[in-house]
Amino acid sequence: TLPRDVARAPEQAQAATSEFGRELRAGLSRRMRSVSPKFFYDVEGSALFDRICDLPEYYPTRTELRILTDRAGEIAAQIGPNAEIIEFGAGSLTKVRLLLDALETPRRYVPIDISGEHLEAAAARLRADYPQLAVQPVAADYTMPLVLPAQAEGAGRRVGFFPGSTLGNFTPDEALAFLQLSARLLRGGGLLLGVDLVKDPALLHAAYNDAQGVTAAFNLNLLRRANAELQTDFDVDGFTHAAFYNAPLQRIEMHLVSRRAQTVTLDGEAFAFAEGETIHTEHSHKFTIDGLRSLAIKAGFTPAAVWTDPDRLFSVHWLQA
């Protein structure tokens, strides 16, 4: 409950804040304290993530863009004409342009993202550049069953687009559940899925522990957001960024580590941290090509093509539904 004097945030921002508050309280109450990485992306967090994408150590974004650019023709050939593109977690709508430019008369683009307002602004820019394309944003949680506008007659395949290895944020069970949902939603079409590949742990470590400390700022920003939106009293300098590769589980784990014994209050409830105790903030799972293929088959897809960069850092899969 916001103190009386705080200016009423718009409905949506308030709902997001209260969801953030509920999930943070629940997350801090668990023994292994954790909070979902979806809360990284406030305005500051999104700006920090954009900077991460340009870091020399963070290869995934530029590598995926290169694959989408170099193999656009082959990807378009798999998808076919008059396609409808459904993008899960559509950020700034830049990657999809590579796809739209390669496809033969794409008919419709349905970006799905939890935050509606920035989606609408990006969609308006896209409409201006692609006048033949029906752009219909949907503000929703794409991990839940989706109801989409019925396909227009003469429409081609329904194609899911899930780039960026965001699938890696899910646990294996969550990833399977999401892929099973997608296979049903995209029946008759397919899913174009970008995933980061298992590789030299030193490369993975560097990608989440950049020399400039941008990833550390991105991770710590979560505490700044909690202080700003939930009136918590995190001493941000009292926590440090930690990211390490858990090789058996094939994932980068990101945590915020308490430097010392300290107490944080949220809504009047105190949460004591021992020195070294952490808040788990993100899993970033890495995949092998065969591992992803068997997960896709288990979810009801038929893997039809895969493209990688020359150094096999990243992979883009075409999975027929």
> Which residues on adjacent β-strands are paired with residue 305?
318
Binding region for ligand AVJ (CB under 6 A) out of 71-79, 116-124, 163-171, 174-182: 163-171
Binding region for ligand AVJ (CB under 6 A) out of 25-33, 110-118, 120-128, 166-174: 166-174
Is residue 282 near ligand AVJ by the rule CB under 6 A?
yes
Is residue 24 near ligand AVJ by the rule CB under 6 A?
no
| Minimum CB distance to ligand AVJ smaller for 21 or for 194 | 194
Binding region for ligand AVJ (CB under 6 A) out of 18-26, 71-79, 161-169, 269-277: 161-169
Q: Which residue is nearest to ligand AVJ (CB)?
A: 284
Is residue 142 near ligand AVJ by the rule CB under 6 A?
no
Out of 17, 165, 221, 232, name the contact with ligand AVJ by CB under 6 A.
165
Q: How far is the CB of 165 from ligand AVJ (least distance, A)?
A: 5
Residue 84 CA to residue 226 CA, distance in Å, equals 38
- Burial, 85: exposed, middle or buried (Cβ in 10 Å; 0-12, 13-18, 19+)? buried
Is residue 169 near ligand AVJ by the rule CB under 6 A?
yes
Provide the CA 19 distance to its chain's centre, in angstroms: 18
The CB-side HSE value for 321 (13 A sphere, CA atoms) comes to: 21
- Burial, 31: exposed, middle or buried (Cβ in 10 Å; 0-12, 13-18, 19+)? exposed
Binding region for ligand AVJ (CB under 6 A) out of 27-35, 159-167, 174-182, 295-303: 159-167
Question: Taking a C-beta distance cutoff of 8 angstroms, is the pair 179, 142 a contact?
Answer: no
Residue with tokens 């994408």: 53
Provide the CA 239 distance to its chain's centre, in angstroms: 24
Binding positions for ligand AVJ, 54-83, rule CB under 6 A:
60
Out of 21, 137, 164, 303, name the contact with ligand AVJ by CB under 6 A.
164
Residue 258 CA to residue 282 CA, distance in Å, equals 16
Is residue 52 near ligand AVJ by the rule CB under 6 A?
yes
Q: How far is the CB of 302 from ligand AVJ (least distance, A)?
A: 25
Question: Taking a C-beta distance cutoff of 8 angstroms, is the pair 114, 139 a contact?
Answer: yes
Is residue 17 near ligand AVJ by the rule CB under 6 A?
no
| Minimum CB distance to ligand AVJ smaller for 52 or for 316 | 52
Q: Nearest 5°: phi and psi at 155?
A: -70, 150
Question: Taking a C-beta distance cutoff of 8 angstroms, is the pair 252, 204 a contact?
Answer: yes
- Of residues 201, 164, 196, the one with CA closest to residue 315: 196
Q: How far is the CB of 50 from ligand AVJ (least distance, A)?
A: 11
Name the residues that contact ligand AVJ, by CB under 6 A.
52, 60, 164-166, 168-169, 208, 215, 282, 284
